[in-house]
Amino acid sequence: MDASFWHQKWEKNDIAFHNQEANSLMVKSFKELSLVEGSLVFVPLCGKTLDISWLLSNGYRVAGAELSKIAIEQLFVELGVEPQISKVGELERYSATDIDIFVGDIFLLSSEMLGVVDAIYDRAALVALPEALRNQYTAHLTKITHKAPQLLICYEYDQSSMAGPPFSISNDEVSQHYLDSYNLTLLSSTTVDSGLKEKCAARENVWLLQSN
């Protein structure tokens, strides 16, 4: 799976992964990060998620990273905001009040570009990446955010019963990626109604990661 996979998804508007409302598990669990108003929340591989609108409306600032320019153009249209677009390294930055989205390869995003991150919210990044990339991603995320606390939401299911994305991320894999840098708390584990994509039984797990 490479960049063209996701570009084609957005070009064809094949975005069943895009929720039509803010994620209920995020809304329920976000307070566990204990953030103050104005805190900067980094949303990796954000697409045009309505979670961003929820974060902004609740007084947080948002930084995001997304491969697809189409997704981010649609995001700002739906927010009703005209972005300022600038070049930052090999990435494009779409900026408006309280929001900066970096468009391009997340592995080209540096801590200097991103600035001081108060928390990470990952619902769509770790689960979107094939196994071969997940170690690189989690190491990069930890580095560029200086181990900012994280709310992580991921699916767990029998990977042999369905090809990802979203991929299955077991509790053991979460530990493998993050236990060296964070204290891990499983906040909730709920059954996915009707199964994942109505194909297989799955659980959706919410993790709180706090720097150790």
Sequential DSSP letters for 30-85: GGGG-PPTT-EEEEET-TT-HHHHHHHHTT-EEEEEES-HHHHHHHHHHHT---EE
Other Cβ atoms within 10 Å of 25 Cβ, number: 17
109, 147: one domain: no
Which pLDDT belongs to residue 158? 94
Asked if residue 19 belongs to a domain, the reply is no
Residue 202 within a domain? yes
Note the pLDDT of residue 46.
95
Same domain, 51 and 110: yes
The CATH number assigned to the domain holding 159 equals: 3.40.50.150
Q: If residue 25 lies in a helix (H) or strand (E), which one and from where to where?
A: helix 24-29
| pLDDT the model gives residue 197 | 83
Residues 93 and 173 in one domain: no
Judge whether 17 and 165 are in contact, CB under 8 Å.
yes
Which of residues 96, 117, 138 is at a domain's end? Answer: 117
Residue 88 lies in a domain: yes
Q: Domain check: are 59 and 98 in the same one?
A: yes
Stretches in the chain below the pLDDT threshold 70:
1-20
- pLDDT at 164 (0 to 100): 82
For residue 16, give every residue at least 6 positions away whose Cβ sits within 8 Å of its Cβ, in sequence order, or none.
197
Looking at 94, 117, 140, which one is the last position of a domain?
A: 117
151-193 per-position pLDDT tens digit: 999 999 999 998 888 999 999 999 999 999 999 999 999 999 9
Q: What's 190's DSSP letter?
A: E
Dmax of the chain from CA atoms? 44
